[in-house]
A and B are shown apart, each in its own frame.
Chain A
Amino acid sequence: MATTTTTVPSAGPVVGSRSFLSRLREGDEIARIITFLFAASVVLITVLLVFELWRGSALPRHKFGFNFFRTSVWDPIFDQFGALPFIYGTLVTAAVALILAVPLGIGAAIFLAELAPARVSDTLEFFIDLLAAVPSVIYGLLGVFIIVPLMRSYIQPALKGTLGFLPLFKGPAYGVGFLTAGIVLAIMVIPYIISVSREVLLSVPRDQREAALSLGATRWESTWKVVVPFARGGIFGSIFLALARALGETMAVTMVIGNTPTISASLFSPGYSIAAVIANEFTEATGDLYLQSLIELGLVLFILTFILNGLARLLIVATSQRGGGMGNT
Chain B
Amino acid sequence: MSARLRWRKFVSGFMLTMTGVCALVSVSVLFFILGYLVYHGGTSISWNFFTKLPTPVGETGGGMANAILGSGKLLLLATLFGVPIGFFGAIYLAEFSGSTTAFIVRYAADLLNGVPSIVIGIFAYALAVLPFKHFSTLAGGFALGLMMIPITLRSTEEFLRGVPNALREAAMALGASKWKTIASVIVPAAYRGILTAIMLAFARVAGETAPLLFTAFGNRFWSSGWNQPSASLPVMIYTYAIAPYEDWHRQAWAAGLVLLGLILVINIVARGILSRGIAVPRA
Q: Which residues of A contact B (CB under 8 A)?
A: 2-4, 6, 8-11, 13-14, 16, 23, 26-28, 30-32, 34-36, 38-43, 45-49, 52-53, 56, 103-108, 110-112, 114-116, 118, 122, 124, 126-131, 133-138, 140-142, 144-146, 187, 190-191, 194, 199, 202-203, 218-221, 223-224, 244, 247-251, 255, 275, 278-279, 282-283, 294-295, 298, 301-302, 305-306, 309, 313
Closest 10 CB pairs of A and B: A135-B207, A248-B116, A107-B22, A220-B12, A35-B92, A31-B179, A218-B12, A38-B88, A26-B177, A309-B114
Chain B residues near A244 (CB-CB < 8 A): 114
**Cα–Cα distance between A135 and B108 once the two chains are bound (Å):** 24
The contact of B242 among A14, A42, A144, by CB within 8 Å, is: A144
Pick from B24-32, B44-52, B57-65, B72-80 the stretch touching chain A: B24-32
Cβ of B178 to closest chain A Cβ, rounded Å: 4
B182 within 8 A of A: yes
Chain B residues near A137 (CB-CB < 8 A): 207, 209, 234, 237-238, 241, 256, 259
Using a CB-CB cutoff of 8 Å, which residues 145-169 of chain B contact chain A?
146, 149-151, 153-155, 158, 160-163, 165, 168
Which residue in chain B gives the minimum CB-CB distance to A104? B22
B104 within 8 A of A: yes
**Cα–Cα distance between A159 and B149 once the two chains are bound (Å):** 45
Chain B residues near A105 (CB-CB < 8 A): 22, 26
Query: Quick check: A107 and B177 within 8 Å, CB to CB?
Result: no
Task: Report how many residues on chain B are interfacial, defined by Cβ distance under 8 Å.
Answer: 107
Cβ of A134 to closest chain B Cβ, rounded Å: 6
A-B contact pairs, 25 of them (CB 8 A): A3-B151, A3-B158, A11-B95, A42-B86, A42-B149, A42-B150, A45-B149, A49-B119, A56-B122, A104-B25, A108-B25, A111-B22, A118-B282, A128-B30, A130-B267, A131-B27, A140-B237, A141-B237, A141-B252, A142-B36, A218-B8, A218-B12, A244-B114, A282-B125, A298-B119
**Cα–Cα distance between A53 and B122 once the two chains are bound (Å):** 8
Q: Map CB proximity to A onto B202-238 as digits: 1 under 8 Å, 0 otherwise.
A: 0110111110011001000000000000000010011
Using a CB-CB cutoff of 8 Å, which residues 11-42 of chain B contact chain A?
11-13, 15-16, 18-23, 25-27, 29-30, 33, 36-37, 40
- Further 8 A-B residue pairs, CB within 8 A, beyond A14-B178, A108-B23, A298-B118: A31-B182, A114-B19, A115-B19, A116-B23, A135-B263, A190-B26, A220-B15, A306-B111
Query: Quick check: A145 and B241 within 8 Å, CB to CB?
Result: yes
Q: Is the interface of A mostly helix, strand, loop or mixed?
A: helix
Chain A residues near B89 (CB-CB < 8 A): 35, 38-39, 41-42
Query: Quick check: B237 and A52 within 8 Å, CB to CB?
Result: no
**Cα–Cα distance between A298 and B214 once the two chains are bound (Å):** 14
B105 within 8 A of A: yes
Chain A residues near B22 (CB-CB < 8 A): 103-108, 110-111
**Cα–Cα distance between A302 and B150 once the two chains are bound (Å):** 16
Query: Quick check: B23 and A124 within 8 Å, CB to CB?
Result: yes
Query: Quick check: B217 and A283 within 8 Å, CB to CB?
Result: yes
Which residue in chain A gives the minimum CB-CB distance to B197? A2
Chain A residues near B108 (CB-CB < 8 A): 42-43, 45-47
**Cα–Cα distance between A91 and B112 once the two chains are bound (Å):** 22
